[in-house]
Amino acid sequence: MEMLIVVAIIAILIAIAIPTFASSLNKARVATDEANIRSGYASVMTDVLTDDNYSVEGGTTGEATYKLNKDGSVTKVATADQEAADPYTTVGKTDTATKVAGVDAGPWDKGAGVTYVYDYSDGSITITVA
């Protein structure tokens, strides 16, 4: 009888621990995604500022579209539909709006790609995770 009670207590503890562990694991994956998106943001800003066509005086207009790669670098693409050579896909899922590097990245699902659009006219950047 005592052994049956011990097994029942262990089963209850496991039933409580599994959802908690799964939630913590997803939080860690979302944090990884946020760090990688932030790294891509820095790569975009570096590319924009070292671009020979970029002008602080506002000589450059239009937008530049970038895709995040698995290694943290970004690839400049002609259109938002074009894929990067080795695209990064998110490893976590978040249902809440998320700010990354001060820019709203919104919620995303697992396996989503990351696109950055830099607007030369006002210096703003849009992050899309879809």
Mean pLDDT of 49-59: 64
- In the structure, what pLDDT confidence band is assigned to residue 54 with cuts at 50, 70 and 90? low
- In the structure, what pLDDT confidence band is assigned to residue 56 with cuts at 50, 70 and 90? low
The whole-angstrom separation of Cα 93 and Cα 81 is: 22
Mean pLDDT of 94-113: 90
Report pLDDT for 16: 93
Ranges of each domain in the chain: 2-129
Q: pTM of the predicted model, to two decimals? A: 0.81
The whole-angstrom separation of Cα 35 and Cα 47 is: 18
